[in-house]
Amino acid sequence: MLLLIILVGATVGCSEGDDTPSAEIPAPDKETEDPTNDPGSGGVMLTFRRSGGFLGTTETITIRSDGRGKIEGDASPPQRLEVPPELLNRLEEELRNLDWDRAATEPRNVSCSDCFVYTIRSGGQRVKTTGMGQSGQELSDLLALVDQIAPGSGR
């Protein structure tokens, strides 16, 4: 339900613009990073960063492969996180099945005043997107799962 509210709010504040690129919102991108520099090589399964929104906040959720994690952001003090095994298994499966190319695809020239920009890193992959269009369709299950793992973490 929370994801639906976030997506509706993002849709209201965001629209496909003209051919003029938005200065505030970076172009969606997908990168393959050197695994030796990736947090995943040190036991980190997922680094999930969300910034923007109505209040212009930033939040980073880091989850290690053993289920330990942390939530850091400018809207609340840092918190420790312990992901239950069932959710950790679902997260592993979701990341394994994620189509990183599709997750980086969204409408061109998105004009967005209140939406979030997501930076997601895992296993040498990285995507930065507003989560609209194909990107939002591909990331919807992952976003819902992150909300389930870290409910009320500043959203």
Tell whether 43 is covered by a domain. yes
Domain of 84 in residue numbering reads as: 2-18+26-149
pLDDT digits (tens, 9 = 90+) for 124-143: 999 998 888 888 889 999 99
Tell whether 154 is covered by a domain. no
CATH number for the domain spanning 106: value is 3.30.1560
Higher per-residue pLDDT: 13 or 146:
146
| Count: domains in the chain | 1
- Whether pTM exceeds 0.75: no
The closest of 149, 153, 151 to 82, measured between CA atoms, is 149
The amino acid present at 28, given as its one-letter code, is P
